[in-house]
Amino acid sequence: MAFSVYHVGLDLELNLTLPDLGHPDLPGLWDALRADDRPVPERQLQCIQCRQTRPHCPEWMFLTERDGKRFASHFTRGIADHAAENESDEHKAYKERILRAAELGGFLAEAESRSTDGKRRTDVLVKSDDRQIGWEIQLSYTTLDSVRKRASLARRDQITPLWATIDAKRDFIDRVPWARLDDMSWHDVAEGRLPLLVRGGVQSLELFRCERGFVIGGGFCPVRGRGYCGELHGHWQVARRVYVDDLVRASAAGDYVPVVVPNSGPRGYNRWWVNAADRDRYLDMGFELLPEGDYQRRKAQSGSELEASPLDPKCHYGEDSGIRSAPTAARDDGTPVVTTAVPRQKTAEPEQPFLLDWTSRTHWGGGTARPCRSCGKPALLVDDFGKPLHKTCAERLHSEDGQR
């Protein structure tokens, strides 16, 4: 981390602690640099000290703003010429496992596949007659911008990217098609004698009729928040006993497909691989899926002021900066996602008055009149939860809910 950085294209040293970066003649420079979403090496920002001491091996940097402080961080994995020699045994093992699984399934597979223009390099490209799946094994940190850029290049070449990780906290989870793999030693992964499970990113769909005994979502209708509506709801849950070798072959064959499922959470969607039959069943029920593509995360605005300091040409890579982010929560927590969309409606029929059958003794309040929870007038009857409620009020509430 550094508070000063060199821009190759502009031939300028930038002081990130100053509002104008030390160059008042270039207004808006910070915003322009932050808006640059090209791969990090193409942004032309270098560590000042590394540039002077190792000009043959430049250390590229990217910019960040956190808690009102601007700084530049090293992007050590951004140098393409060093990728092969820096590849870890773990990374090689997962690549070899995917290659072997594809070939045993009768699919063509290519390691380190590159585009003709040299802009795209895919760890393992698995091909079938009508689709290409680009496996990216990401075991170490990479920026979300870099992942999005590489995913965009894959889609340009008619490749469906699949980002594989072993870390539930990776920030590209749900941003691109992904899968979380078992964390095993590279020896076990490479040998292939032990099953390698998919722990996240692959979901299965289960549908339930919303009636008494319905337990998903706390025991009540997830749409109304109380009682039962009689409609079909569903929930997506982590698919059990899905193996990496099978996912390699099934995704290439089209048996597993990537989907973007809308939800009511802060992000607004989840991105998974699902069985094609589950996807079709979900759509047939009238639920919607979002189109494949990139979805940007909203960035919080900071009103903090900068603390100016002199230009610092020293490299601070590996030093403790004292700037802390909030603890990273697991993006893949395995929580079932309840489907609350309304299924596709059939042809409209004449509306019939809704009547409840409250002849059961469970709706008798014991002979003591209490204020109805809807109209407030004395009621001798109770609802399914033992709360005082007139039968007519219950029927009216149900009809109102159905009209919303």
138 pLDDT above the threshold of 60 = yes
Instruction: Please name the residues in contact with 292: beta carbons below 8 A apart, sequence gap of 6 or more.
Output: 258, 260
Structure confidence at residue 157 (pLDDT): 94
Which of 58-67, 76-85, 103-112, 392-401 is the least confident region?
Answer: 76-85
**147 or 286, greater pLDDT:** 147
**346 or 242, greater pLDDT:** 242
- Domain match, 278 and 130 both: yes
Domains contained in the chain, number = 3
Pair of tokens at residue 355: 């009547």
The whole model's pTM is what? 0.57
- Domain match, 27 and 111 both: no
pLDDT in tens, 310-342: 777 766 655 555 555 555 667 676 666 665 444
- Domain match, 93 and 25 both: no
Query: DSSP labels for 65-110?
Result: EETTEEEEEE-GGG-GGGTTTT--HHHHHHHHHHHHHHHHTT-EEE
d(CA 330, CA 364): 48
Of 80, 110, 142, which marks where a domain is finished?
Answer: 80
What is the mean pLDDT of the segment spanning 280-309? Answer: 68
d(CA 309, CA 109): 53
Say if 320 falls within a structural domain: no
- Domain match, 287 and 160 both: yes
Say if 10 falls within a structural domain: yes
- Domain match, 154 and 103 both: yes
3-state secondary structure of 257: strand
222 pLDDT above the threshold of 90 = no
Structure confidence at residue 154 (pLDDT): 94
Query: DSSP labels for 219-254?
Result: SS-TTTSSS---SEEEEEEEPSS-BHHHHHHHHHHT
Structure confidence at residue 9 (pLDDT): 86
64 pLDDT above the threshold of 60 = yes
Give me the residue label for tokens 């402080």: 69
Say if 315 falls within a structural domain: no
- Domain match, 73 and 104 both: no
- Domain match, 148 and 272 both: yes
Percentage of the residues of the chain whose pLDDT score is greater than 70: 77
pLDDT in tens, 361-379: 777 877 788 888 888 888 8
d(CA 82, CA 401): 62
Which of 6-15, 166-175, 337-346 is the least confident region?
Answer: 337-346
Structure confidence at residue 395 (pLDDT): 82
163 pLDDT above the threshold of 70 = yes
Give me the residue label for tokens 């072959």: 249
- Domain match, 20 and 35 both: yes
Structure confidence at residue 333 (pLDDT): 65
Residue 24, domain extent: 4-80
pLDDT band at residue 117 using 50, 70 and 90 as cut-offs = confident
Pair of tokens at residue 164: 């594989």
pLDDT band at residue 400 using 50, 70 and 90 as cut-offs = low
Percentage of the residues of the chain whose pLDDT score is greater than 90: 29
Which of 36-40, 54-58, 173-177 is the least confident region?
Answer: 54-58
pLDDT band at residue 254 using 50, 70 and 90 as cut-offs = very high
- Domain match, 115 and 142 both: yes
| Sign of the C-alpha dihedral computed for residues 327, 328, 333 and 339 taken in this order | positive
For the chain, state the CA radius of gyration: 28
